[in-house]
Structure 1
């Protein structure tokens, strides 16, 4: 990042953007951020969550933390749900707070698939996936398991046709519940190696039916869920997230350019609010894949016919360059929004930026959650930096 910048360097970030059924005030979006602070009993949000999101309402659009569409969809300790009336009521605290602060917020609909553990599953059953699969790494189970907070993933079982039909109904139900909770729309989470991505990627999907084998078959569930959502809500309230390289659990595809360009093309022509794509970056990608994803990303942009949102360790300057060049319509920022609730204001004046405390990213209380100072409340810059990633 250059040491000396002017406000005009970021001008592209502060233009309004029509987004489906709404218009957002700027192109600095808050990416979905799992923080693992929901109530274990009922997977509920609280007034603390309402404060956290309201503090960040200056984002053009907030995309909520990933929210499981059913009990089967949970894969991490203390994450929220959007499938019960109590969960709807708890999320209403959040959406009301964001709207009262002048913001817009979509709910990210999540099913982790095999990246789970039996302690989260109904009846302690095995998690489900496209095919029988044991994810790499450890499941974050917190205090749900006596050997926690992390334990190995068990083998997931292959979903039956009946499982898939129930899954589609669960997505529809969760989307309707999100609208009932006051969200401006939903983001269908088809990324990061979770369930839909497990169907997309040939390292996991070994099915021999109409959901496996060819690219057309592997993207079938993606489009079936989107079409099911279109049956219960306007297209302009639906966004989709995809990630073309790497994912949790060690999943990958042997030909990501072909797969994800086809997925983006399959989502075109439906009038969706946006497509949200994560480029390879040090947070989610293996070192060998860093720098390899821009061509794929631009192929996906060319294949999709609506607003295109990009994510992946962007500096404000690079974000503005991408938008000014027409390579994206908005950029979502993740970790910078953790530590900087008023990130757009900080970008507008080139910082300073608070430094995030990684020890408080997941789990805990208000510390490292709602106590980061805004510019107007900051009394010390001793922990602030002049750069953001």
Structure 2
């Protein structure tokens, strides 16, 4: 019987060759100044085009949306042109690539956003969270985040408009679709999770209110580029960057039900992936499957065996393999043939140049 990871799958109007996803991973190598995607990034993604779907690294939708030094944007003509190099290179290798659209909200520092005060759902500082800034040396400097200001209704409207424009920019740049980053403690997540949202207006309080911003952003993007080209990433059980929800099962089943009514093409669930993290409850995965009719992607600590089982059990349609893709550009071929997996070098994950990005080799069995 064919390995479930290698069955083709339909994603909207796209026919994918396998069910292996390269999930978004920040690598902090955008060209400076300007935070433009570049030729080195084009080589990196093209090397990995044998994935059924590539979701490119988090890409800020505005200057205010940037959390870390050297991450790419998608709001200037130069940035769009930079990403066009990447999408052209991936398409030349018959790959499929989505852009991940990102606004970090409070997870930043004034040095990364032109001296401005960060914005968030509420004026709550993310305790213990650090980001890195370009301090003019080879080594990025890690600094504490600062207290954000609570977004006004005008701010909310503006950011929704920026997401909509970023979706249009992504299509102009040649992406096959976009993934909204609503996970890992960034802006949308700061509205969703109860302990990060102290608002008393229609964007805070009840689960329905806390999901309102998510829904309005998704509607703006699907209206602009079509629901069949919009996916959403959620992280129900992580406490990354200081966002915690008091009732994650209830909140995130409601989120998946909302996204079902909005007809997004996929939901990408980031599971907690540190070594002794608790497993995502099976009953939660079953409930998500019942609430949402589209393509379900799970990522976090998956190997071939776990990935195959998740697909065969019917809880997932596609599986994201994060870190293994860094050191194994030919990961699908290695999985298919049982070849050993190379390990990445942690020191070269963020920043730098080709070393640790494009110099990992395909497996040579001879």
Same fold per superposition (TM over 0.5):
yes
Pick aligned residue for 1:264 from 240, 256, 269: 256
1:87 is paired with a residue of what secondary structure?
helix
Superposition deviation, residue 142 in structure 1: 3.2
Pick aligned residue for 1:309 from 297, 303, 316: 297
The answer to whether the Cα contact below 8 Å between 1:29 and 1:63 also exists between their aligned partners in 2 is yes
Pick aligned residue for 1:363 from 347, 351, 354: 351
In the alignment, structure 2 segments of 5+ residues that lack a partner are none
The answer to whether the Cα contact below 8 Å between 2:238 and 2:271 also exists between their aligned partners in 1 is no
1:85 corresponds to 2:85 = no
CA distance, structure 2, for counterparts of residue 29 and residue 78 of structure 1: 24
Superposition deviation, residue 161 in structure 1: 0.5
The equivalent residue for 2:339 is 351
2:194 is paired with a residue of what secondary structure?
coil
CA distance, structure 2, for counterparts of residue 271 and residue 250 of structure 1: 30
Across the aligned residues of Structure 1 and Structure 2, the Cα RMSD in angstroms comes to 1.7
What do the CA deviations read for 1:160-215 (whole angstroms, capped 9, x no partner)? 10000000000011000000000000001111110000000111100000000000
1:127 corresponds to 2:111 = no
CA distance, structure 1, for counterparts of residue 138 and residue 349 of structure 2: 22
- Equivalent positions of 1:1-389 (< 5 A) are 11-122=3-114, 124-135=115-126, 136-143=128-135, 149-282=141-274, 287=276, 290-376=278-364
CA 1:53–1:293 in structure 2 vs 1: closer, same or farther (change >3 Å)? same
1:155 is paired with a residue of what secondary structure?
coil
Superposition deviation, residue 137 in structure 1: 2.1
CA distance, structure 1, for counterparts of residue 28 and residue 35 of structure 2: 10
Which 10-residue stretch deviates more, 306-315 or 273-282?
273-282
In the alignment, structure 1 segments of 5+ residues that lack a partner are 1-7, 380-389
CA distance, structure 1, for counterparts of residue 289 and residue 141 of structure 2: 39
The equivalent residue for 1:384 is none
CA distance, structure 1, for counterparts of residue 310 and residue 198 of structure 2: 37
2:57 is paired with a residue of what secondary structure?
coil
CA 1:197–1:373 in structure 2 vs 1: closer, same or farther (change >3 Å)? same
CA distance, structure 1, for counterparts of residue 32 and residue 69 of structure 2: 8
CA distance, structure 1, for counterparts of residue 193 and residue 324 of structure 2: 30
CA 1:323–1:111 in structure 2 vs 1: closer, same or farther (change >3 Å)? same
TM-score calculated relative to the size of structure 2:
0.96
The answer to whether the Cα contact below 8 Å between 2:184 and 2:241 also exists between their aligned partners in 1 is no
Superposition deviation, residue 147 in structure 1: 11
CA distance, structure 1, for counterparts of residue 135 and residue 328 of structure 2: 30
Superposition deviation, residue 292 in structure 1: 4.4
Figure out how many residues of one structure are paired with residues of the other and give that number: 365
TM-score calculated relative to the size of structure 1:
0.91
CA distance, structure 2, for counterparts of residue 213 and residue 35 of structure 1: 36
CA 1:317–1:168 in structure 2 vs 1: closer, same or farther (change >3 Å)? same
Superposition deviation, residue 118 in structure 1: 0.6
CA distance, structure 2, for counterparts of residue 90 and residue 53 of structure 1: 13
CA distance, structure 1, for counterparts of residue 262 and residue 145 of structure 2: 37
1:38 is paired with a residue of what secondary structure?
coil
1:354 is paired with a residue of what secondary structure?
coil
The answer to whether the Cα contact below 8 Å between 1:269 and 1:305 also exists between their aligned partners in 2 is no
